[in-house]
A and B are shown apart, each in its own frame.
Chain A
Amino acid sequence: DTAVSQTPKYLVTQMGNDKSIKCEQNLGHDTMYWYKQDSKKFLKIMFSYNNKELIINETVPNRFSPKSPDKAHLNLHINSLELGDSAVYFCASRDGHHNSPLHFGNGTRLTVT
């Protein structure tokens, strides 16, 4: 009955590789997000989709490409991985109300060697 689930939980890869992280939510929410958390726990929004439409695209290298096949899924593909991409990536979702909270997945710890 997991609400927001991400796979994989851990991802270790070498520089230059391409990798994907998947996210699914079963809450019926319209909006989904990707956040990046660095080693100091700082959280930065990367992307947001509403009903499969991109609505937030912060200053993120274009090596990062989100894809939303339907409103329950938001995947993140990363090309040409760099050492600085090492972080924990969190998927989240929320419903359409202004005051509603985000529901987070448990994160994907990406380590680039």
Chain B
Amino acid sequence: GDSVTQMEGPVTLSEEAFLTINCTYTATGYPSLFWYVQYPGEGLQLLLKATKADDKGSNKGFEATYRKETTSFHLEKGSVQVSDSAVYFCALTSGTASKLTFGTGTRLQVTL
């Protein structure tokens, strides 16, 4: 079945540091890939998505590129801010499946 593997957290960075959160997947067919963010006490919000190989999703300074050859969708940001502190989830949907399969989430803590 489909699965998503994320790097374990927490990830602790100083403000303005470079961020990478790794995500790899296993899926049948050609999945669509997503990154969601969950701020404390809130639901998940879509951060970005990519629907086919080599697509790059981007939003709020975050980027991720759909790499079919390495089955990866790593999240990057060039300069993190304290306000980026949250839990980040990689997810996919594939085939005719109606559900989204999530990774385990990676907590990011950004300090001054």
- A50 to B43: give the CA distance in the assembly, Å: 21
The residue of chain A having its C-beta at the shortest distance from the C-beta of B44 within the complex is: A104
* Docked pose: A101 CA to B49 CA in angstroms: 8
- Chain A residues whose CB sits within 8 angstroms of the CB of B99 once the complex forms: 33, 45, 48, 56
Q: Is the CB of B43 within 8 A of A106?
A: yes
Q: How many residues of B contact A (CB 8 A)?
A: 23
Q: Distance (Å) between the CB of A86 and the closest chain B CB? A: 17
Query: Contact at B98–A55, with CB atoms within 8 Å?
Result: yes
Interface stretch (choices A12-20, A36-44, A67-75, A77-85): A36-44
Pick from A40, A90, A98, A101: contact of B43, CB under 8 Å? A90
- Interface 0/1 of B47-79, CB less than 8 Å to A: 001010000000000000000000000000000
Interface string of A93-109 (1 = CB under 8 A from B): 00000110111111100
Residues from chain B with Cβ under 8 Å of A106 in the complex? 41-43
A43 and B89 contact, Cβ closer than 8 Å, known pairs A33-B99, A99-B32, A99-B51: yes
Check A102 against B32 for contact (C-beta < 8 Å): no
Q: How far is the CA of A40 from the CA of B46 in the complex (A)?
A: 20
Contacts of A41 in B (CB 8 A): 38, 87, 104-105, 107
What are 20 A-to-B residue pairs whose CB atoms are below 8 Å? Answer: A41-B104, A42-B102, A42-B105, A43-B102, A45-B100, A48-B99, A55-B98, A56-B98, A92-B43, A98-B32, A98-B96, A99-B32, A99-B49, A101-B49, A102-B100, A103-B46, A104-B43, A104-B44, A106-B41, A107-B42
